[in-house]
Chain A
Amino acid sequence: MRYLKILEYALASLLRRPGKTCAILVVYTLMIVVLASVLFLTQALKTEATTMLAGGPQLVVQKTMAGRHELIPVSAVEKLVEIPGVKAVKPRVWGYYYDALTGTNYTLQGFDTLANELSLLNGRLPREEGECAIGAGVARSRLIHLQDELILIDYDNIGRIFTVTGVFVSAADLLTQDLVVMPEGPLRQFFGMPDSLATDLAVEVYNPNEVDTIANKIKRSLPDSRPITQSELLRTYHAVFDWRGGMMLALFSSALMAFCILAWDKATGLSAGERREIGILKAVGWDTGDVLLLKLWEGLALSLLAFLSGCLIAFILVFWWGTPVLGGILRGWSVLFPALRPTPFIDFYQLGTLAFLTIIPYVASTVIPAWRAAVTDPDEVMRAS
């Protein structure tokens, strides 16, 4: 009851300075919106990326020459399959294509024609030369649809015509938007890549726990190779999003500093009016504890409201509105824009940390300066105005 009543007074006293209270509330909420958006978005993308990519190759072996990536001889496959624990080795053929027409980069990905059909593909996978499946981003940028023709210029500067047999659904944009998929053979012809070479090798192992050991063995049997394990690959994505999030926070740090200055300003001194008010309250019979409770409520009322509404706005912004402004900053610039509609994976631990790191300092900066005024005798109010 006493708590409620003092909350009542705290709200009344916040409403006494509506301009100041509103300004703090807006800045505070905005700060939470940005911080929470970054957390939501990076967490969702990280989780989504790692769960999806876990379906990819367990181990990729590249060849390096003079410290650079080189095409790997297909003959290396025989050497690798002999390593105990290796289930299968598949040469991969893929590469990039710059489309001068639209100023866009495509990724040309070869695949095994034995593969079955995909549920995320409208139409079917290409089967022979002159056919391809494309990502929704490619379709958008070239204004083509299913059964239309896609003209690409090959290594020899000859225009080649491909029939679009399938377009990936845009729900899979995060994986496929810039892909042009065709069977391995035609892709080799397009790139002018000899049959004896491949871009890299995908290795399948029997026991995923042994991947690191096998990577070691591969490194020993092919000294000029560079094995990349899936865990390294997934960690890369964790790191990339952490780094992106960090960059974003760095950009945002000026706003954070402004907020700190505000809190500092509050923390370093009470105004004469506030000091006088505390004196009056004590003189009319408020305890030190009552006064501190009042200040606690004042800080808590504001920061709780700001935190909750900030989280709410961030949630709606990120998961329903596709992160209008922040998404661009977080993702960087791009010609092809995948719609950023991440699956809402939420990390409550992070949210708790955010709450802890924003609410506690703010409340402390309201309560602590009031402390000194609250513990002194109130007889000061008996004289002088």
Chain B
Amino acid sequence: MIRSRAYLCLIAVLLTALAGLTGWAQKTSATFLADGLPARRQLVSVLSLTDLALWTEARYTRHPSMADLFSPFQDHPGAFDHFPAGSLMAPAGPRPETTMHIRRVAQP
């Protein structure tokens, strides 16, 4: 019975460690939501930021949600053009939610 006991102990240790880390994660994310987030939201709102500074190399990756002069798929904010194979998958999310009624004759 030595092996099964050792194994179950190991599993228990791993579970405890995972539970501990998860608890830590919950606490950290709660702290972030309580303390870190308001400051960041203030930053975002004061500078009126719309995007993350994750991909700074190209305009259309720096602001994926904004259209740009050189962006190939600018009418679709959900379409990514990291490389041409971006068309491999249909972009997720709905089309822009604005619709337009088109007039046949210009109104005076």
Binding site for B on A (CB under 8 A): 4-5, 7-8, 11-12, 15, 45, 47-49, 51-57, 60, 62, 64, 67-69, 90, 92, 96, 104-107, 109, 111-112, 115-116, 118-121, 135, 137, 168, 171-179, 181, 200, 202, 212, 215-216, 218-220, 223, 226-229, 231-233, 235-240, 242-243, 246, 301, 304-305, 308-309, 311-312, 315-316, 319, 331-336, 338, 343-346
A301-B7, A343-B28, A344-B28 in contact; A109/B77 too (CB < 8 A)? no
Q: Given the complex, which residues of A lie within 8 Å of B11, measured CB to CB?
A: 304-305, 308
A232-B77, A334-B55 in contact; A120/B25 too (CB < 8 A)? no
Contact A8 B1, beta carbon cutoff 8 Å: yes
Interface centre among A5, A55, A242, A304 (most CB of B within 10 A): A55
Identify B55's interface contact among A232, A309, A332, CB under 8 A.
A332
A120 to B46, CA, bound (A): 12
Contact with A along B68-108 (1 / 0, CB 8 A): 11010011011010100000010111101111110000000
Contact B46 A226, beta carbon cutoff 8 Å: no
A47 to B69, CA, bound (A): 29
A236 to B4, CA, bound (A): 49
Q: Given the complex, which residues of A lie within 8 Å of B17, measured CB to CB?
A: 312
Contact B36 A343, beta carbon cutoff 8 Å: yes
Q: Given the complex, which residues of A lie within 8 Å of B96, measured CB to CB?
A: 226-228, 232
Interface size class of B (residues with CB under 8 A): 35 or more
Contact A338 B53, beta carbon cutoff 8 Å: yes
- Nearest-Cβ distance from residue B16 to partner chain A, whole angstroms: 10
Identify A232's interface contact among B58, B63, B97, CB under 8 A.
B97
Contact A236 B62, beta carbon cutoff 8 Å: no
A168 to B43, CA, bound (A): 10
A106 to B53, CA, bound (A): 10
Q: Given the complex, which residues of B lie within 8 Å of A231, measured CB to CB?
A: 97
A235 to B50, CA, bound (A): 12
A243 to B77, CA, bound (A): 13
Q: Given the complex, which residues of B lie within 8 Å of A8, measured CB to CB?
A: 1, 3-4
Further contacts, 18 of them, CB under 8 A, given A52-B40, A69-B67, A319-B25: A7-B8, A48-B32, A55-B43, A64-B74, A69-B71, A135-B53, A172-B40, A176-B53, A177-B56, A226-B67, A228-B66, A231-B97, A301-B7, A305-B10, A308-B15, A312-B17, A343-B29, A346-B29
